[in-house]
Amino acid sequence: MVRKYRVILATIAVFISLAGMMEAIRGLLFDSNAEFLYGVVALSLGVAAFVVLLNPTPKDER
């Protein structure tokens, strides 16, 4: 079973990735390279954190 704090952190990572997606789309709509770049970085980091946090570890098998 995955520990509770990891589930909470994964939930926060999902919201970070959603905000990054919104910022990337906003950067595309208003032709702002910096907003687009920051949005893509936040989206990538949020998805990566979500995947890493929900992967089971050997300690979770007990």
pLDDT at 2: 64
Residue located via tokens 């910096």: 34
Radius of gyration for the chain, computed over Cα atoms and rounded to the nearest angstrom: 15
Say if residue 21's pLDDT is above 80. yes
pLDDT at position 4 is 87
pLDDT band (50, 70, 90) for residue 62: low
pLDDT for 33 equals 96
Question: Of all residues in the chain, what percent carry a pLDDT higher than 70?
Answer: 94
Mean pLDDT of the chain: 92
- Could you tell me which of 4, 9, 7, 38 has the C-alpha nearest to residue 24? 38
Indicate the domain borders of the chain.
Answer: 4-55
